[in-house]
Amino acid sequence: RASPFPRHYAVAACSGSKQQGDGVHQDSATVTVNIPLSRSENFVGGNLSFCGVFGRDDYRRHVHTLDWSHLPLGTAILHSGLRRHAALPTIVGERMNLIFWAISSSPKAIPAGPWETRQVPDQECLSELYDSDFKQHSVHGHNS
């Protein structure tokens, strides 16, 4: 039987032998909370790269890369669901995170438009899945 409550959380386990990164994307949420559950000595890589915000010209501009190894276990990272981001591949070991998505009771839709491809993207913010100009801007093997 289906639950009357939509699922707005996930436990993501990423290991060096299998994980390729989750690709550059934004969440269908108002706010995203990401909490590391693995000790930093148990993995290498898997950093979280942040870009601009969906609906703005800086959408595909790199803003910051978060290195999980510099955060205490259990630190919550809170960001707008509209912020484009990507979990980079875990190179060695296994990294586990608890992720929550908070969805507004009255979400505001942002239509797609020319702003999406107006500027040349930073490589960290280019998505093969979502960007129509991926082949034009991709440096082979750098993005997903």
d(CA 1, CA 63): 43
pLDDT at 94: 87
Q: What is the pLDDT of residues 97-107, one digit of tens each?
A: 888 888 877 76
Nearby residues of 94 by Cβ (< 8 Å), 6 or more positions away: 13, 14, 15, 16, 38, 42, 43
pLDDT at 13: 59
Whole-number mean pLDDT of the chain? Answer: 82
d(CA 45, CA 115): 32
How many Cβ atoms sit within 10 Å of the Cβ of residue 141?
6
Quickly tell me which residue has 């990423």 as its tokens: 14
User: What is the reported pTM?
Assistant: 0.81
How many Cβ atoms sit within 10 Å of the Cβ of residue 137?
16
First-to-last C-alpha distance (Å) of the chain: 36
Q: Name the band, by pLDDT with cuts 50, 70 and 90, for residue 76.
A: very high
Q: Name the band, by pLDDT with cuts 50, 70 and 90, for residue 62.
A: very high
Q: What is the pLDDT of residues 79-131, one digit of tens each?
A: 999 999 998 888 889 888 888 888 877 767 777 777 788 889 999 999 988 88
